[in-house]
Chain A
Amino acid sequence: KAGVTQTPRYLIKTRGQQVTLSCSPISGHRSVSWYQQTPGQGLQFLFEYFSETQRNKGNFPGRFSGRQFSNSRSEMNVSTLELGDSALYLCASSGLAGGGDTQYFGPGTRLTVL
């Protein structure tokens, strides 16, 4: 099976702009979770979707949003970008609701905000 794919892999934006990141899970997986990874904060949970429904949300401001489509692909959007949003954004898929404990991660999208 193909792994989790994320696009784009790299992105440079300026403060105030918005960005949309995409994630395609492993075929057959219905759960997609998003994480933000920074050197100082480690892996921080953003949200989880299962069958197009948001099941869980982390402690991030409302500028961070996401959605999942009927084919399980997911997008996350960050509006009004701030310098502190520079990070590696990882998505992970699982075949189980609640994410299961085996999460398969994509390569990530590295976002740089200037």
Chain B
Amino acid sequence: GQSLEQPSEVTAVEGAIVQINCTYQTSGFYGLSWYQQHDGGAPTFLSYNGLDGLEETGRFSSFLSRSDSYGYLLLQELQMKDSASYFCAVRDFNQGGKLIFGQGTELSVKP
């Protein structure tokens, strides 16, 4: 089976740095992805970690440690527009490659 855990909500102020953690339990892990979804919108792809380490894309970075079954999304220089839900997702190849999503973390950025 599989499960992913991430905090349900996080609050931070503009300009700050926030880290959203994701722990997973899956028997056939193949990489960790992150998606952003604004209220009423479609999820959009942010990043993918297939190997351990840090991937950086502008203000966003994502990290994976396969030995710890853990990853995180780091958002720097927070802006109001970053207020959204963030989902981690893993592909479980013991379940035919299904993409399994976490429950999502709602990030609120305050002025």
Question: Looking at the complex, which one of A45, A90, A101 makes contact with B98 (CB distance below 8 Å)?
Answer: A45
CB interface residues, A 53-101, toward B, < 8 Å:
55-56, 58, 90, 92, 98-99, 101
**Distance from B107 Cβ to chain A, minimum over Cβ atoms (Å):** 15
What's the interface size class on A, roughly? 20 to 34
B97 touches A102 (CB 8 A): no
Q: Closest B-chain residue to A110, C-beta based?
A: B40
Cα-based distance from A63 to B42 in the complex (angstroms): 25
B48 touches A101 (CB 8 A): yes
B31 close to chain A: CB less than 8 A: yes
Residues of A within 8 A of B99 (CB): 33, 45, 99, 101, 103
A106 touches B42 (CB 8 A): yes
B61 close to chain A: CB less than 8 A: no
Cα-based distance from A37 to B31 in the complex (angstroms): 22
Residues of B within 8 A of A99 (CB): 91, 97, 99
Residues of B within 8 A of A101 (CB): 31, 33, 48, 50, 91, 99
Cα-based distance from A55 to B44 in the complex (angstroms): 23
Residues of A within 8 A of B97 (CB): 48, 55-56, 98-99
Q: Closest B-chain residue to A98, C-beta based?
A: B97
Known: A101-B48, A101-B91, A102-B48. A58 touches B98 (CB 8 A): yes
Q: Mark B36-75, 1 if CB is under 8 A from A, else 0.
A: 0000011111001010000000000000000000000000
A108 close to chain B: CB less than 8 A: yes
Question: Looking at the complex, which one of A43, A48, A58 makes contact with B43 (CB distance below 8 Å)?
Answer: A43
Other contacts beyond A4-B42, A105-B35: 6, CB < 8 A? A42-B101, A45-B99, A45-B100, A55-B96, A103-B43, A105-B42
